């Protein structure tokens, strides 16, 4: 089941994001930031009490017409079950309901996002405001992530509904 995150989810979210942060595949988030941005997160509930969160994704609003898909992670033994796609789609649905025109992501998995309808763009086309998080990254200023963007109304799931 996918749902909005609640306070009790923050520590498991932190643990999951830290796991991938240590591998360098995403930016770890400090606990205080996760608490501050709790409302941005969706989670996939897990059935294992030791791992109550199977997946996580956030929709961070950057500007009046722009949001970011961030902190997308699924526990390793649950990958390949479509949880990542479902999390991105629910974030895109929320973006559309909020009236946001574009959603971007910075990723090392462009094929995954391409399948969902995202298109590759030059990072330099994104507003400077989005680079605030980058300063904390160990790879700054030599970021090798790929920037991708989508219009929420044109996501894969929404395109199927319109057909």
Q: Is the pLDDT of residue 102 over 50?
A: yes
Per-residue pLDDT band at 161 (split at 50, 70, 90): very low
Domain ranges in the chain are 2-162
Cα-based distances in Å from 16 to 114, 129, 137? 24, 26, 17
Q: Is the dihedral of CA 32, 90, 83, 72 positive or negative?
A: negative
CATH number among 3.40.50.300, 3.90.1150.10, 3.40.630.30, 2.60.40.650, domain 2-162: 3.40.630.30
Selected residue with higher pLDDT from 138 and 104: 104
Per-residue pLDDT band at 133 (split at 50, 70, 90): low
Q: Is the dihedral of CA 19, 21, 22, 24 positive or negative?
A: positive
126 three-class SS: coil
């Amino acid at each position: 089941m996918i749902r909005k995150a609640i306070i009790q989810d923050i520590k498991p979210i932190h643990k999951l994001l830290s796991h991938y942060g240590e591998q360098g595949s995403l930016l770890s988030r400090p606990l205080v930031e996760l608490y501050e941005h709790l409302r941005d997160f969706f989670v996939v509930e897990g059935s294992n009490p030791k791992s109550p969160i199977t997946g996580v994704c956030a929709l961070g609003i950057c500007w009046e017409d722009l949001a970011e898909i961030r902190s997308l992670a699924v526990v390793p033994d649950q990958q390949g079950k479509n949880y990542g796609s479902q999390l991105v789609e629910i974030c895109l649905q929320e973006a559309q309901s909020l009236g946001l025109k574009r959603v971007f992501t910075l990723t090392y998995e462009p094929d995954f996002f391409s399948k969902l309808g995202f298109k590759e763009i030059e990072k330099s086309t994104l507003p400077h405001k989005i680079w605030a998080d980058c300063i904390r990254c160990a790879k700054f200023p030599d970021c090798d992530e790929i920037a991708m963007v989508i219009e929420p109304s044109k996501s894969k799931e929404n395109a199927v509904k319109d057909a």
